[in-house]
């Protein structure tokens, strides 16, 4: 599989980027940590991990990465955002703190920490028809929720109460939860299929 995959990156400014790098490498990908614009230019897809969206936003601007990231997303680079990464690629962050910016590209509105604090973290099983059976065990940690979907956005998974927690739009995927923590690699495989398809 490695030979058929172009290099992919994981934004490595903050958060659980190491876990994503390990999952991608385990799937045979040439996975690289991305901290500088020149590193971003060498990959064909990008994972934006969970962490603190406000810190990630500030660091991406401090490292001169925000504009190159926006340009890469605009050019159609496949991007997969998990938890804080989903907030980073949302066009609208409903409860952003003052000065917080997102990279945009995904026509959704999200709410940060929609379930409360770290103490309100939880796990559940989700049906994800695009990934087939069995249901995916999902871990939610201070997770965002998708409150509005644009016309071109597809909901990939929802909670029992109907709240959307996984979406797709073209080459972009976003999940409120953390597949890198559970050993279920189907979302990462789905992302790599998009990278392979574009390459």
Indicate the angle between helix axes 17-26 and 186-198, nearest 10 degrees: 70
Half-sphere exposure of 151 (CA within 13 A, CB side): 0
User: Nearest to residue 15, comparing CAs of 188, 141, 113, 174?
Assistant: 141
How far is Cα 13 from Cα 89, in angstroms, rounded to an integer? Answer: 15
- pLDDT at position 118: 63
The answer to whether 51 touches 15, Cβ cutoff 8 Å, is yes
Residue 113, number of CB atoms within 10 A of its CB: 16
Establish whether 178 is a catalytic residue: yes
Overall number of domains in the chain: 1
* CATH number, residue 28: 3.40.50.880
- pLDDT at position 1: 43
Q: What is the pLDDT of residues 164-185, one digit of tens each?
A: 999 999 999 999 999 999 999 9
Q: What is the pLDDT of residues 31-88, one digit of tens each?
A: 999 999 999 999 999 999 999 999 999 999 999 999 999 999 999 999 999 999 999 9
Q: Which of 20, 44, 168, 178 is catalytic?
A: 178
State the residue range of the domain holding 114.
2-198
**pLDDT level of residue 199 (50, 70, 90 thresholds):** confident
User: Nearest to residue 60, comparing CAs of 20, 102, 122, 104?
Assistant: 102
Q: Which of 20, 44, 168, 180 is catalytic?
A: 180
Region 4-10: mean pLDDT is 90
Q: Which of 83, 123, 147, 189 is catalytic?
A: 83
**pLDDT level of residue 2 (50, 70, 90 thresholds):** very low
């Amino acid at each position: 599989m490695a030979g058929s995959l172009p290099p992919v990156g994981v934004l490595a400014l903050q958060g659980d980027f190491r876990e994503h790098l390990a999952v991608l490498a385990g799937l045979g990908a040439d996975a690289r940590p991305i901290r500088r614009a020149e590193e971003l230019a060498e990959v064909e897809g990008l994972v934006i991990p969970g962490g603190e969206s406000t810190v990630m936003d500030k660091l991406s601007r401090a490292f001169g990465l925000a504009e190159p990231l926006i340009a890469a997303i605009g050019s159609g680079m496949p991007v997969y955002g998990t938890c804080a990464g989903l907030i980073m690629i949302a066009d609208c962050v409903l409860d952003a703190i003052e000065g917080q910016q997102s990279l945009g590209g995904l026509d959704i509105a999200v709410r940060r920490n929609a379930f409360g604090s770290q103490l309100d973290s939880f796990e559940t099983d989700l049906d994800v028809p695009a990934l087939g059976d069995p249901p995916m065990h999902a871990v939610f940690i201070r997770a965002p929720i998708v409150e509005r979907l644009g016309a071109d956005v597809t909901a990939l998974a929802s909670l029992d109460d109907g709240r959307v927690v996984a979406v797709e739009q073209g080459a972009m995927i976003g999940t409120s939860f953390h597949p890198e923590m559970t050993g279920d690699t189907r979302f990462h495989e789905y992302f790599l299929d998009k990278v392979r398809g574009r390459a």
